[in-house]
Chain A
């Protein structure tokens, strides 16, 4: 079993759609969780940290369920500029080592 598993992509959605990404992690001792966004041929950029209480930033909502070891990202009212690969990332508690999911590619079409 992979340490961090994400929905396979690609997701092709029309503008204005709501899209949800899911992720599971295997290490129950993990303490911090993130969603990063990576555009083609660019570096990963932090989109959101994920907290147990859930957190929202504009059109983006992240949720963490520690009991199920499950992380989600909801994007509402998708824009063309949301097209990117979304990486689910978990801190391994090993000296800063991050564990990355394989990434989910999102393509928002007009």
Chain B
């Protein structure tokens, strides 16, 4: 079973709101990822967690705050977002964060910032 789940499916928020995106996997994977995808563009990496530690932050603005409470869960806390942050936010996981590991993506959260 290569399932990664994400909630919510859709989210609409104002620029002053605080919200969180959630991601879960039960495949025993030790690496988890957040990506942002705009329409007609490929996914862009935001963060990588390896063994529950943040290992890569692709210079993401501090209004995005990731958290990895345990090996199965990954959150993305959102605060004071801008309309240009509207996008599909994808979570992925892989067995490890190695050079040959395959990543499996969740269905994404479609975020609209008003």
Answer whether A and B are interacting partners: yes
Q: Given A96-B31, A96-B50, is A32 in contact with B100 using a C-beta cutoff of 8 Å?
A: yes
Residues of chain A within 8 A of B90, CB atoms compared: 43-44
Interface size on B, residues (CB 8 A): 27
Task: Pick from B50, B56, B107: contact of A43, CB below 8 A.
Answer: B107
A97 contacts B by Cβ under 8 Å: yes
Contact in complex: B102, A96 (CB < 8 Å): no
Question: Interface size class for chain A?
Answer: 20 to 34
Contact with A along B76-114 (1 / 0, CB 8 A): 000000000000101000101111111111111010000
Q: Which residues of B contact A31 (CB under 8 A)?
A: 99-100
Q: Known: A32-B99, A32-B100, A34-B102. Is A96-B43 also a contact (CB below 8 A)?
A: no
Residue B70 interfacial (CB < 8 Å): no
* A28 → chain B closest CB, angstroms: 13
Q: Does A1 contact B (CB under 8 A)?
A: no
Q: How would residues 29 to 43 of chain B score, 1 for a CB under 8 Å from any chain A CB and 0 otherwise?
A: 001010000000111
Q: Which of A54-62, A73-81, A100-108 is near enough to bind chain B?
A: A100-108
Point out which of A31, A87, A93, A94 has the most chain B C-beta atoms below 10 A from its C-beta: A94
Is B65 engaged at the interface, CB distance under 8 Å to the other chain?
Answer: no
Shortest C-beta distance, B86 to chain A (Å), equals: 14
Q: How far is the CB of A101 from the nearest CB of chain B, in Å?
A: 7
Chain A interface (Cβ < 8 Å from any Cβ of B)? 30-32, 34, 41-46, 49, 87, 91-98, 100-103
